[in-house]
Amino acid sequence: MTDGGGGLTGLVPHLVQSLIQPDGRHFDFRVPAGEPALAAPDSVSWRVFKNPVSLFVGGVTAVILELAEPRVRTGVWEHSSFRRDPLPRLKRTGLAAMVTVYGARSAAQTMIAGVRRLHDQVTGHTPAGAAYRANDVALLDWVQATASFGFLEAYHAYAAPLSAADRDRFYAEAGPAAALYGATGAPASVAQWEAQLADMLPGLERSEIVFEFLALMRETAILPALLRGLQGALIRAAVAIVPPEVRAVVGLGRAWDLGPLEGRLVRWAGAAADRL
């Protein structure tokens, strides 16, 4: 390891920047403003969100789950720039997650209020004719739940195992921010997530948009050049932690399995990023 931006020590901040820093906007979360954040420094959330490997993997997992729900899928695909220019959208989403966890409480509240105003404009109908609103509580609950699940499972699987108590704490810690977003029924424990998944499962469906999204994730230069070869393995690592019943619904079969060598590589990268 080296300091001053060289070697692995310098690569981790560069990886974080590549994932969350939109062009022209730079935030250094290592220099706190002094105002408390929505999550406490000793929280499980602070442990999980510092890891850029699990942040990337968990984010892909969350989007797969979101796109399996037809109302969420239509809202995301028809009202965002994701298809045309996915990288800026990914960075804005990553930055929003980091501000929510690490940013000053007032900054997080202001950002979330802006997101809600934007979501007020997102309405429409799915191809099957179902009405949707981005700020519908049921949809917000699902998006919040899938995000919590994705980030938690990615960290647990590929960075550092978490106890059952810490896994429950992670869901509960998301409560204050989830309420600000309007997700008043988001799960507060693993058991509540599992119950929500069971409730939502009958309404999930296969869509070619899931495969279009995964193709975008493979083809877009998201990671720094030194890590570009790892991108495909990270995407398969994300598929690997999607609940099996959802994989079956959306059609992510064995071709998307994470190979043993790839699994070891992803776990090495996740553990290394956690230490650094």
Tokens at residue 2, please?
Answer: 């080296």
pLDDT of 80: 74
Does any domain span residue 172? yes
Question: Could you tell me which of 123, 103, 86, 95 has the C-alpha nearest to residue 46?
Answer: 103
Q: How far is CA 64 from CA 31, 103, 135, 212, 264, in A?
A: 33, 27, 20, 11, 23
Give me the domain span that covers residue 135.
Answer: 16-275
Residue 11: inside a domain, yes or no?
no
pTM for the full predicted model: 0.88
pLDDT tens digits for range 195-221: 999 999 999 999 999 999 999 988 887
Residue 224 lies in a domain: yes
Domain annotation covers residue 10: no
> What parts of the chain have a pLDDT lower than 70?
1-33, 226
Classify residue 7: in a domain, yes or no.
Answer: no
The residues, ordered by sequence, that sit 6+ positions from 123 with a Cβ below 8 Å of its Cβ are 131, 132, 133, 134
Instruction: Decide if 254 is inside a domain.
Output: yes
pLDDT at 159: 97
The predicted structure's pLDDT at residue 229: 81
pLDDT at 192: 98
In a domain, 171, yes or no: yes
Question: What contacts 207, CB < 8 A, 6 or more positions away?
Answer: 67, 68, 70, 73, 250
pLDDT for residue 97 = 87
> 3-class SS at 131?
strand
Question: What residue ranges in 79-138 does DSSP mark as E strands?
Answer: 123-125, 131-133
Please provide the average confidence, as pLDDT, over all residues in the chain: 87
**174-192: pLDDT as tens digits:** 999 999 999 999 999 999 9
Number of domains in the chain: 1
DSSP class of 188: S
